[in-house]
A and B are shown apart, each in its own frame.
Chain A
Amino acid sequence: GENVEQHPSTLSVQEGDSAVIKCTYSDSASNYFPWYKQELGKGPQLIIDIRSNVGEKKDQRIAVTLNKTAKHFSLHITETQPEDSAVYFCAAISNAGNMLTFGGGTRLMVKP
């Protein structure tokens, strides 16, 4: 089955700096890679996703890159704000499979 590794587990940045979270996956058949933001006591919220036919996607301060050959994808947050503080999860899924496999999560702390 799919295995998703996520690093770092915790990340502390100063407000205004950039934050990068990296994930690797094992199943080359995976073709959809969403990123979720989870605030304390709440369910995960989809913030951005990317499909395997695209190398990069951007939405305002958030961008995701995908390297299919290396089987890794990354989340980039620029101009971080205190409200970006949360736990971020990467995930991978293939059309053949029905299951979303999550990374271990990254706790991002943005210091004002």
Chain B
Amino acid sequence: GAVVSQHPSRVICKSGTSVKIECRSLDFQATTMFWYRQFPKQSLMLMATSNEGSKATYEQGVEKDKFLINHASLTLSTLTVTSAHPEDSSFYICSARSHRGSGANVLTFGAGSRLTVL
């Protein structure tokens, strides 16, 4: 089945630094990837839609200059949290759309990246 690899799984950084998270589709091409943020005991909140070769589409309230998204190839999207602050500490999860035999669009999720900003 479709596999999405996310790296790193955990990262701890100092306040003010930038952190890059990678999301790769391992066995399929993904023209569209999605980035979610999940706070403890809460649901996943869509941050942005990453489109290969074009600018990402951000959800209302998400700062595009704070959360930089790059989708330079059909198998890789990156999320960079710039000038991270403690309130950016969260679980970040990516997903990619794959096509199953029925033609249905299925979202496969990465394992998530836990960011802790000190």
Contact = CB atoms under 8 A, between A and B. Distances in A.
A51 interface: yes
A103 B104 CA distance: 21
Contacts of B32: 98
A46 B109 CA distance: 8
B109 A89 contact: no
A44 B43 contact: no
Interface stretch (B70-78, B80-88, B110-118): B110-118
B56 interface: no
Give the bracket for the number of chain A residues in contact with chain B: 20 to 34
Contact of A100 (B41, B104, B107): B107
B49 interface: yes
Interface string A88-111: 010001010011101111010000
B34 A46 contact: no
Nearest to A91: B107
A34 B107 contact: yes
Contacts of A95: 105
A42 B109 CA distance: 10
Interface in A63-94: 89, 93
A112 interface: no
- Chain B binding surface SS class: strand
B32 to A, nearest CB: 7
A102 B112 contact: no
A73 B89 CA distance: 33
A105 B112 contact: no
Contact of B6 (A34, A43, A100): A43
Given A102-B43, A104-B43, A43 B107 contact: no
A44 B107 CA distance: 10
B112 A42 contact: yes
A35 to B, nearest CB: 12
A100 B33 CA distance: 12
Q: Taking each of A45, A93, A98, A104, which has the highest tally of chain B beta carbons within 10 Å of its own beta carbon?
A: A98
Interface of B: 4, 6, 32, 34, 41-44, 46, 49, 93, 95, 104-112, 114
